[in-house]
Amino acid sequence: MMFQYVKLLLYSIFLSCKVYAIPLEDSGDALNLFGLEGLSENYAIGATFIEGDIAVPLKAGRAVYIRSPKWPNGIVPFDIHASYTNDQKSVIRGAMSEIMKSTNNCIRFVERNSSTSVWLRIIPSRGCWSYMGRAKSSGPQDLSLQPTGCVYHQVALHELMHALGFIHEQTRPDRNQYVRIQTENIQSGNEHNFNIFPSTSVSTLNRPYDYGSIMHYRSDAFSSNGLPTIKVITDTDKDWESKMGRGMNLSDQDAEKLKAYYSCS
């Protein structure tokens, strides 16, 4: 069953954690994360979605209030649904390993045990999506990687970055200095996916804008006509237009942002 598409009105957004991500449109079979209109509202999980793949509790209503606290001490307990194949589990664990290695194990994913109060539960639900940061006070916090289309290394990285508290790169408050949004090319009803967050709500962690982030939209994200929806402004950076949103791994800046946010030494 297709979930009803609902255009989300964002008129009050507050973020306690900050940085960014990319809806990925991978080659091959990977789902276009920013094209999943059917994920806009999902009563089955009690959440609505913004920017395609960020889950927000329905109880927040239309005045969306996003809290994204850190995982204490950078430790993220998790379990992976038993229905994934061994190869799929290896892909998911590989993404976790890259994050741990890039932060020198300052951020650690550990198997949950019976005493774990909050954990990341990776499930084979519809689509690729995650909550922002440590969003639950008790019990499992879901992260969905649909077996067909989402279990790819770069997609798992992207959603794990959301779970660690990072939002999409092109929503940072200084983005208009680096990219221009071509609103005339955006699919009707998807304009909100290009909202920009104010500096009072979002921190850049004093890191430069990162066209190569695992957390950046493709240049043709939500395009209605195949033309770019995001154009690079600076001539010296124009080559990034064909590369944005196509990364397979964390960028160097992604790693630095993780370490900065989680106060890694």
Q: Known catalytic residues?
A: 159
Task: DSSP for 73-93, please give it.
Answer: GGEEEEEE-TTS-HHHHHHHH
Residue 260 CA: distances (Å) to CA of 74, 103, 221, 253: 12, 10, 28, 10
Strand 118-123 and strand 179-181: the pairing is: unpaired
158 in a known ligand binding site: yes
Burial of 187 from C-beta contacts in 10 A (0-12 / 13-18 / 19+): middle
81 in a known ligand binding site: no
162 in a known ligand binding site: yes
Kindly report the CA angle at 169 between 221 and 72, in degrees rounded to 5?
A: 130
CA 151 from chain centre, in angstroms, equals 15
User: Token digits for 239?
Assistant: 């080559």
Residues in the annotated binding site for Zn(2+): 158, 162, 168
Residues in the annotated binding site: 158, 162, 168
